[in-house]
Structure 1
Amino acid sequence: MLSDLMQTSHADQCCDVLVIGGGPAGATAATLLAEKGHQVTLLEKARHPRFHIGESLLPANLPLFDKLGVRAEVAGIGLEKWGAEFVSPWHEHSQSFEFADAWDKSMPHAYQVRRAEFDEILIRNAGRKGANVIEGCRVRDLEFLPQDAGAIVRAEHDDGRTETWQCRFLIDASGRDTFLGNRFKAKHRNPKHNSSALYAHFKGALRHAGRKEGHITIFWFAHGWFWFIPLADGITSVGVVTWPYYMKTRTKPVKDFFLDFIPMCPALAQRLQGAELVSRVEATGNFSYTCDRTHGVNWLLLGDAYAFIDPVFSSGVMLAMQSAFAGAEAADTCLRQPDQATDALRAFDRAIKHGPQEFSWFIYRVTSPTMRDMFMYPRNVFRVKEALLSVLAGDIFGKTPIWRSVLAFKVIYYLAAVANLKHTIVAWRQRKRNIRYVEETEEIGC
């Protein structure tokens, strides 16, 4: 037991910072802290390359790649993504948006990437920059030391060996495992927006020509929405996000259930006509959650270890990496200037909550009839279209002055929702139905 280890005051290894998880958040934080001169150990349960969903990046990722020194490597594996397309069965046309039309014109594109390749670039970069990267090593337990002296972490290698580390500061970047969030019982479903997803890869899907080849396409349909993400090697990632109550109707294998969704969206079915399914169909249920805290005296949560809402705007990787930049600054201050730790952690708390809060307002309403109309018939009055594109590009952490126009967009939305009251009430009732379902399944322990 760790208590026994503590009594002997010994651990197998020591480090300044121990990072749990080697995805984009953990690898980024480990890189930055190693560059600042800290002794960093990163423990990753899997071995890279390993599959992960979430292939679509945002333009706001690119400055972060520059700071990490990996932009050329990412460009080498990616398909350029210049915009996004929205397709609605309630409208006779599709609508495309170009990132070059956003408020800040300096970030006109992003990339679509295979996450196995992308994540490996980031974790190898952490190793090159001085972090001690250990793969195939799952954290099993930990104990915080008295007087906020750090923690002792016990992990198990995939060959069965166990090893312990004593660290001064602990960073949880374990993604959906959210190791500390579960340990502290701080992780909670998000009843305001709880969805389930099925996804797979296809070969031979129909793509757009020219620069629009790399566009992500969002297809609305009666029970949620689909993503269509073209990758550089000819593979296309396709996923469906739907309400949990509809997933509850499944009476057949996951693969067949997923394939049954596709004919429900004729526009997507046309793009997949003749395409070949070339991967397993994966399922993720009730994936929207948040933790009720972001940090402690000598620990913090990054990226999905803190919260995950919905992948509709491809914000996951960008928010994870942004949280890592903020977290690395906070951890560095806590270690070097403990008298300023309280202010540093308070600033981190604001930073990590900012992104999910800003995206959530749009995500909670993206399937509403009013929001669909505003996406399908965009107007730039009060520069609201430019501000919306800035949000879609992830440009919400800098100094781009979008917020008055974002507020104007919200006011227009509420006015339009009142004007379209009948459909607004129908959408509201559907959301309430989903919230009741989530609450009921929580009560019975589902």
Structure 2
Amino acid sequence: MAGNQDLDVVVIGGGPAGATASTLIAQQDYRVELFERERFPRYHIGESLIPETYWVLKRLGMLDKMKSSHFVKKHSVQFVSPSGRISAPFYFHDNKPHECSQTWQIRRSEFDVMMLNNAEEHGVVVNEGVRVLDVLFEGDKAVGVQIVDEAGNQREVRADVVIDASGQSSMLINKFRLRVPDTQLNKGALWTYYEGADRDQGKDEGATIVLSLQNRKGWFWYIPMHDDLVSIGVVADFDYLFKGRDSNESTYFEEMENCPVVKERVAGAKQVAPVKATKDYTSSAKQAAGDGWVLVGDAFGFLDPLYSSGVLLAMKSGELAADAIVEGLRIGDTSRSQIGKWEAEYVEGMNRMRRLVCEYYDGFSFGEFIRRFPHHQGSVTDLLIGDLFKKELDQVFVDIDSMKVS
């Protein structure tokens, strides 16, 4: 336990990464307190889960809650080429015949509340409407945080470990100047929501559809959710999407003209939200941990949303960090080498997903690749479902490279 400290662990941020890490540590009877500056529910983009979230949800005790929810079930992903050709669905179950191959399209405001409530049920002390003003250090070691509540009351909270799960605005990543922008994936996004847009039936109702623009400069996501809503967004290079354009709204509809399949699907639908934009895209941190502190989720790295890996990577980093911290607390070692020991494995997995993203933007054809290397169909599906942490998957990229020189 924490000795003279107030707590064993302080967590900054109540999104999926913070909720995951705090829950798994509290399950081991450590004292964990979480501080979230907003009050949930709060809006957040990122509505599509991929199958490998199943295993973290299971450890968290969230599976039954997800199964009984009204979230739309997702069994597959489909791709639409620049010419409008629709691929056969990549059914996750065909590759991995297990219930983990069915996942969900979620509304983040609801899902994040479920995750935070679940953390409380497992013993985490959750504080909403509380901002962390600073991370406290003694020498190079983080020893707690300074917080302020909505009434303006300030106090210090001491802990053996500080987990920063505060997203891309992370205090620690800015303090230590750790952010590394990804110049190859300098993208932005525009999106909105439609009511009554076309959706497929039966098993395909919840499929994520990735649709290329005719000019190949970007792509649309198409994510069917409950309450007859569909999330539809366009992703492209930052300069292409935001420079020399009149407005986000007009740009969004100009790009819809550049993707006729999307335009057809919303022909009889009603737009029910303003067009939103994000320009803070792919980046990573130089390191995931220091003495007494850890970065998880978007605070450590955010990857292009092409394959809907965001929530998985947030939860996976939270899980791996939690396991390293629990071990460190048990043996009395909260040094960088102990609580950041998960970083190399995690970065390898994240980079496999990043490589698949980059290949897509470079014109990679799943169909052509599988025709040439049919034995890789399972490996490609593994990558798409987020089963990223296996070295044997690297052979996929060796063979992709071989296609480029042949």
Normalising by structure 1, we get a TM-score of: 0.84
Q: CA deviation at 1:339?
A: 5.0
Residues 93 and 255 (structure 1), Cα distance of their counterparts in 2 relative to 1, 3 Å cut? closer
2:121 is the counterpart of 1:134: no
C-alpha distance after superposition, 1:283-308 (max 9, x if no partner) = 11141111111100111110111001
C-alpha distance after superposition, 1:58-105 (max 9, x if no partner) = 111112111111112223131110000100123644332110122565
2:313 is the counterpart of 1:326: no
Amino acid at match of 1:99: F
- Superposed, 1:41-60 pairs within 5 Å as 41-60=33-52
Task: Give the secondary structure class of the aligned counterpart of 2:104.
Answer: strand
2:182 is the counterpart of 1:190: yes
Q: CA deviation at 1:319?
A: 1.1
1:418 aligned residue = 405
1:29 aligned residue = 21
- Superposed, 1:98-177 pairs within 5 Å as 98-102=91-95, 105=98, 107-146=100-139, 148=141, 150-177=142-169
- Kept in 1: contact 2:84–2:261 (CA 8 A): no
1:61 aligned residue = 53
Residues 287 and 78 (structure 1), Cα distance of their counterparts in 2 relative to 1, 3 Å cut? same
2:69 is the counterpart of 1:82: no
**Within 2, Cα distance between the matches of 1:248 and 1:237?**
20
Q: CA deviation at 1:139?
A: 1.2
1:439 aligned residue = none
- Kept in 2: contact 1:136–1:158 (CA 8 A): yes
**Within 2, Cα distance between the matches of 1:32 and 1:278?**
38
Query: For structure 2, which runs of at least 5 residues remain unmatched after alignment?
Result: none
- Kept in 1: contact 2:294–2:340 (CA 8 A): no
Q: CA deviation at 1:193?
A: 1.4
2:62 is the counterpart of 1:70: yes
Q: CA deviation at 1:376?
A: 6.2
Amino acid at match of 2:310: G
**Within 2, Cα distance between the matches of 1:151 and 1:341?**
12
Comparing 103-112 and 310-319, the one that deviates more: 103-112
Residues 380 and 32 (structure 1), Cα distance of their counterparts in 2 relative to 1, 3 Å cut? farther
- Kept in 2: contact 1:103–1:389 (CA 8 A): no
- Kept in 2: contact 1:18–1:170 (CA 8 A): yes
Q: CA deviation at 1:188?
A: 2.1
Query: Residue 284 of structure 1 is aligned with which of 266, 278, 282?
Result: 278
Task: Give the secondary structure class of the aligned counterpart of 1:378.
Answer: helix
2:258 is the counterpart of 1:264: yes
2:372 is the counterpart of 1:385: no
Task: Give the secondary structure class of the aligned counterpart of 1:94.
Answer: coil
2:359 aligned residue = 365
Amino acid at match of 2:344: R
- Kept in 1: contact 2:144–2:162 (CA 8 A): no
1:409 aligned residue = 396
- Kept in 2: contact 1:218–1:227 (CA 8 A): yes
1:204 aligned residue = 196
Comparing 328-337 and 164-173, the one that deviates more: 328-337
1:236 aligned residue = 230
Normalising by structure 2, we get a TM-score of: 0.92
Residues 380 and 55 (structure 1), Cα distance of their counterparts in 2 relative to 1, 3 Å cut? farther
Percent identity of the aligned residues?
Answer: 32
Q: CA deviation at 1:413?
A: 1.9
- Kept in 2: contact 1:155–1:164 (CA 8 A): yes
**Within 2, Cα distance between the matches of 1:317 and 1:161?**
33
Query: Residue 242 of structure 2 is aligned with which of 215, 239, 248?
Result: 248
Task: Give the secondary structure class of the aligned counterpart of 2:212.
Answer: strand
Task: Give the secondary structure class of the aligned counterpart of 1:80.
Answer: strand
Q: CA deviation at 1:158?
A: 2.9
Task: Give the secondary structure class of the aligned counterpart of 2:249.
Answer: helix
1:422 aligned residue = none
**Within 1, Cα distance between the matches of 2:329 and 2:292?**
9
- Kept in 1: contact 2:74–2:104 (CA 8 A): yes
**Within 2, Cα distance between the matches of 1:30 and 1:407?**
32
Count of matched residue pairs: 400
- Kept in 2: contact 1:77–1:118 (CA 8 A): no
Task: Give the secondary structure class of the aligned counterpart of 2:134.
Answer: strand
Q: CA deviation at 1:352?
A: 2.9
**Within 1, Cα distance between the matches of 2:207 and 2:290?**
40
Give me the CA root mean square deviation. 2.2
Comparing 69-78 and 232-241, the one that deviates more: 69-78
**Within 2, Cα distance between the matches of 1:93 and 1:342?**
47
2:32 is the counterpart of 1:40: yes
- Kept in 2: contact 1:104–1:390 (CA 8 A): no
2:341 aligned residue = 347
Amino acid at match of 2:400: Y
Residues 414 and 79 (structure 1), Cα distance of their counterparts in 2 relative to 1, 3 Å cut? same
**Within 2, Cα distance between the matches of 1:202 and 1:376?**
33
**Within 1, Cα distance between the matches of 2:133 and 2:70?**
34
1:444 aligned residue = none
2:209 aligned residue = 217
Amino acid at match of 1:418: V
2:309 is the counterpart of 1:308: no
**Within 2, Cα distance between the matches of 1:390 and 1:95?**
17
